[in-house]
């Protein structure tokens, strides 16, 4: 009798724990949505995601693909995919682009929490003088967030013998959320200097799965860099002769969302066609409550610029309390293809600089416009 009673109480306790765990998971999902957006270590290899003002920033066309697998050593890892296309139109001094993004939180394609969104971008070039220009950008997107209840185990799916294999009778307001998302940004730049600011989720969309109010906090980020040309080495002979650039580009990126904030600081080093980079990500002057100082990872990148194609791979070594031996860090790959257009037959208009500094893969070139009439003395 005592054994049967103990067994009954045991499985009732299991049911209660499962119910509490499900609620905690749902609340945690909501908190994570509040805490931070997906991030890319190679933030300048995802320029539209960083700041809508970078739309069309190559002065021509560009196709980008990004992949990030964060913390593959634990079951609740995060996998993010992004693909974008943007192009500059000199006749209207504008850049137009589109980006698709998918974020899987908690275990690959069968993750309990998956986000998909599509975004449209527009930027406008505002020349100040022959040395400086401003690009202002706008982003409008639509997102879908799915909570896969099939990956959870609730109390009514258990009895004294364990899981029943039957669907739960629990009900929720929704297992999918659709929302409109609006962001904007601005970048001031010259030949070798840029400073940008972007604000995402300006409308703070409601992301609650429980039917209450759970707004997504705005994200603010500031980014800047300075490209220092060291020297240019000429290789080859005749028509096959080309210029090999040697440069270093210190960069900084600070972002905040809700109660979370983070600083990335590092540098790209370019010895064409090789590019290497190193970053520290954290904010060591700030401490989390009962969790030590705010620091995340040390990251390294290696990449190659092959004609119009740029390839980059980076690895994050975890230095937070999670420990790299547990998380296995994070792997990230970026591919960028630059679409070149012939000058002949192109519509006239005030053009974009051929190259701006947020693209560390490109060779150093002086600011150049198709028309300089506004600056003629």
Q: Considering only 15-19, 59-63, 93-97, 220-224, which range has the smallest mean pLDDT?
A: 15-19
The mean predicted confidence, pLDDT, of the chain is 78
pLDDT reading at 15 higher than 90 = no
Count CB neighbours of 7 within 10 A. 12
Please, where are the H alpha helices in 286-358? 324-327
Q: What is the pLDDT of residues 124-162, one digit of tens each?
A: 999 888 788 899 999 999 999 987 766 666 666 676 666
Rg from Cα positions in the chain: 25
Q: What is the pLDDT of residues 293-337, one digit of tens each?
A: 778 899 999 999 888 899 999 999 999 888 888 889 999 999 999
pLDDT reading at 25 higher than 60 = no
Strands (E), the chain: 61-70, 78-89, 94-105, 113-127, 133-147, 158-159, 162-163, 176-189, 193-200, 219-226, 228-235, 242-257, 260-271, 274-288, 292-306, 309-318, 330-339
The residue-averaged pLDDT of 82-90 equals 95
pLDDT reported for residue 290:
58
Distance CA 162, CA 46 (A): 47
pLDDT reading at 31 higher than 80 = no
pLDDT reading at 289 higher than 70 = no
Q: What is the CATH number of domain 2-375?
A: 2.40.160.40
**In 201-233, which positions are buried (b, 16+ CB within 10 angstroms) versus exposed (e)?**
beeebebebeeeebebbebebebbbbbeeeeee
């Amino acid at each position: 009798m005592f054994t049967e009673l103990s067994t009954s109480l045991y499985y009732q306790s299991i049911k209660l724990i499962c119910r509490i765990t499900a609620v905690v998971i749902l609340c945690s999902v909501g908190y994570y949505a509040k805490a931070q957006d997906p991030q890319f270590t190679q933030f300048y290899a995802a320029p539209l995601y960083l700041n809508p003002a970078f739309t069309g920033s190559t002065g021509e066309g560009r196709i980008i693909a990004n992949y990030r697998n964060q913390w593959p050593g634990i079951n609740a890892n995060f996998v993010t995919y992004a693909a974008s296309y943007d192009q500059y139109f000199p006749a209207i001094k504008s850049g137009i682009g589109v980006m698709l993004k998918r974020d899987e939180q908690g275990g690959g394609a069968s993750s309990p929490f998956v986000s998909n969104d599509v975004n449209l971008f527009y930027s406008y070039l505002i020349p100040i003088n022959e040395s400086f220009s401003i690009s202002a950008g706008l982003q409008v997107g639509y997102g879908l967030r799915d909570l896969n209840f099939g990956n959870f185990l609730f109390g009514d799916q258990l009895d004294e013998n364990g899981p029943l294999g039957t669907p739960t009778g629990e009900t929720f307001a929704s297992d999918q959320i659709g929302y409109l998302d609006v962001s904007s940004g601005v970048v001031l730049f010259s030949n070798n200097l840029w400073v940008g600011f972007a604000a995402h989720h300006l409308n703070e969309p409601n992301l609650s799965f429980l039917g209450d109010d759970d707004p997504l906090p705005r994200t603010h980020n500031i980014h800047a860099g300075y490209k220092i040309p060291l020297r240019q080495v000429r290789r080859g002979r005749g028509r096959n002769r080309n210029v090999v650039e040697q440069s270093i580009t210190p960069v900084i990126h600070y972002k905040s969302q809700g109660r979370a904030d983070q600083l990335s600081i590092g540098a790209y080093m370019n010895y064409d066609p090789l590019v290497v980079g190193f970053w520290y990500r954290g904010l060591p002057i700030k401490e989390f409550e009962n969790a030590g100082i705010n620091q995340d990872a040390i990251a390294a990148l290696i990449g190659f610029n092959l004609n119009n194609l740029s390839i980059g791979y980076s690895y994050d070594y975890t230095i937070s309390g999670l420990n790299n031996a547990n998380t296995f860090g994070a792997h990230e790959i970026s591919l960028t293809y630059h679409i070149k257009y012939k000058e002949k037959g192109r519509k006239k208009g005030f053009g974009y600089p051929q190259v701006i500094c947020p693209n560390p893969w490109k060779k150093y070139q002086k600011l150049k416009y198709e028309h300089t009439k506004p600056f003629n003395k």
